[in-house]
């Protein structure tokens, strides 16, 4: 990498960190944006990770692939406005509702891409937090949304005399932090992956039964609720991190991205339905580190370059996460220990 290539991505450039890249898959994806077989580049130093994901992908493929769906898309910045009292904060929110078109015009003037979807207000004490929600095309969009919101912030300050103090950000976005607001409301893409694995495929490939995985899922929910984990999945962070490094994403966004909700059930015909929703997956196919050489190569390999490719990447990440969840869940359940007493009682 030349200093010129890295310009804009780093300061005090001195070289590169080299992370080994392995190829998992192929993975058959039945998405709306990603369709067909994909070889998945994973950059990691954790031995067995690529093998484990590949194992899951093989099973998913034998089951007809993973179905993926993007159901939300938003990027936020959330300034806080402080007033003399709660009453002025409440009136301010009402006032914002009457000036939306002006605010939209001001903020959208800062970018050819960012579009203001809506502003969600949250009132507490004498504060009004305004969560600006934008769409940002193929970019992750944190910077363009920061700029667009700053323009709105300036306009608001110039046009409202009741504000006493204000900050452009105050832990309500919440950038690079796991948070419940980002589990409820998407930051980045909200994307789901689903697969239905026939009993025999699961039995022969992973040596576990659908009801074993379903039982462990129930136990793992209790574990997650007690431990205060922000999700009931197993290790979504592994796939997300490895794909993020490989494809030039802002890897620190793993902090939000790792909140993945799983649901597992045994279907009427004895198969395993397995799904995972990542509520706030921040991905880009434009901007940031996506233009760098090895990163571009990985994106190209995934067909994720050019206009309108970002949802494809989101679907690929979700599908990969699902394959890894399935693989690890099966590994845990294949070590399941069941007493003779319990097994005899099982009467299958």
Q: Which two tokens stand for residue 233?
A: 């999945």
In the region spanning residues 83 to 112, those forming contacts with a copy of itself, defined by CB under 8 A, are: 85-87, 89-90, 93
For 110, how many CA atoms within 13 A lie in the half-sphere containing its CB? 23
Compute the distance between CA of residue 74 and CA of residue 116 in angstroms, rounded to an integer: 9
Q: Which of 245, 282, 299, 316 binds a copy of itself (CB under 8 A)?
A: 245
Integer distance in angstroms from the first to the last C-alpha of the chain? 60
**Interacting residue with a copy of itself among 35, 261, 296, 303 (CB under 8 A):** 261
The phi-psi region of residue 64 (left if phi > 0; otherwise alpha if psi is between -120 and 50; otherwise beta) is left
Task: Looking at residues 196 to 215 of the shown chain, list those that interact with a copy of itself (rule: CB under 8 A).
Answer: 215
Comparing CB distances to a copy of itself, the nearer of 108 and 169 is: 169
Q: How many residues line the site for a copy of itself (CB under 8 A)? A: 150
246 lies in the site for a copy of itself, by CB under 8 A:
yes
Q: Which is nearer to a copy of itself, 12 or 98 (CB)?
A: 12
By CB under 8 A, residue 20 contacts a copy of itself: yes
Does 35 bind a copy of itself (CB under 8 A)? Our answer is no
Is residue 305 part of the contact set for a copy of itself (CB under 8 A)?
A: no
Catalytic residue selected from 250, 265, 291, 297: 250
135, two tokens = 């769409």
The reply to whether 62 sits near a copy of itself by the rule CB under 8 A is no
CB closer to a copy of itself out of 277 and 309:
277
Residues, the chain: 348
Residue 61 in the binding site for a copy of itself (CB under 8 A): no
**Whether 180 is catalytic:** no
**C-alpha–C-alpha distance, residues 198 and 324, integer Å:** 17
220 is a contact residue toward a copy of itself (CB under 8 A): yes
- Residue 326, CA distances (Å) to 82, 184, 239, 268 in order: 47, 24, 12, 20
b/e sequence 139-165, b meaning 16+ C-beta within 10 Å: bbbbbbbbebbbbbbebbeeebeebee
């Amino acid at each position: 990498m030349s200093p010129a290539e890295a310009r804009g991505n780093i300061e005090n450039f001195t070289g590169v960190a080299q992370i080994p890249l392995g190829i998992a898959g192929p993975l058959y994806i039945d998405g709306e944006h990603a369709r067909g077989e994909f070889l998945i580049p994973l950059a990691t130093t954790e031995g067995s990770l690529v093998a484990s994901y590949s194992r899951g992908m093989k099973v998913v493929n034998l089951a007809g692939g993973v179905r993926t769906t993007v159901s939300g898309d938003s990027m936020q910045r959330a300034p806080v406005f402080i007033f003399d009292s709660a009453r002025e904060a409440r009136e301010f929110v009402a006032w914002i509702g009457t000036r939306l078109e002006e605010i939209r015009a001001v903020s959208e003037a800062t970018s050819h891409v960012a579009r203001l979807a809506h502003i969600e207000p949250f009132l507490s004490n004498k504060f009004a937090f305004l969560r600006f929600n934008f769409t940002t095309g193929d970019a992750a969009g944190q910077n363009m949304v920061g700029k667009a919101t700053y323009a709105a912030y300036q306009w608001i300050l110039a046009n409202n005399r009741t504000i006493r103090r204000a900050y452009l950000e105050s832990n309500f976005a919440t950038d690079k932090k796991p948070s419940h607001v980002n589990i409820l409301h998407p930051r980045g893409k909200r994307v789901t992956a689903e697969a239905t694995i026939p009993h025999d495929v699961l039995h022969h490939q992973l040596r576990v039964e659908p009801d074993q995985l379903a039982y462990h899922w129930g136990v793992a929910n209790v574990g997650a609720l007690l431990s205060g984990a922000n999700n009931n999945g197993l290790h979504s962070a592994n796939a997300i991190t490895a794909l993020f490094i490989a494809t030039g994403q802002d890897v620190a966004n793993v902090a939000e991205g790792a909140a993945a909700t799983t649901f597992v059930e045994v279907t009427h015909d004895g198969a395993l339905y397995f799904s995972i929703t990542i509520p706030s997956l921040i991905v880009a196919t434009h901007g940031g580190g996506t233009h760098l050489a090895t990163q571009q190569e990985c994106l190209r390999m995934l067909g994720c370059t050019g206009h309108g490719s970002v949802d494809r990447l989101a679907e690929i990440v979700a599908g990969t996460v699902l394959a890894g969840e399935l693989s690890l869940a099966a590994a845990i359940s294949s070590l399941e220990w069941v007493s003779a007493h319990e097994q005899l009682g099982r009467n299958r």
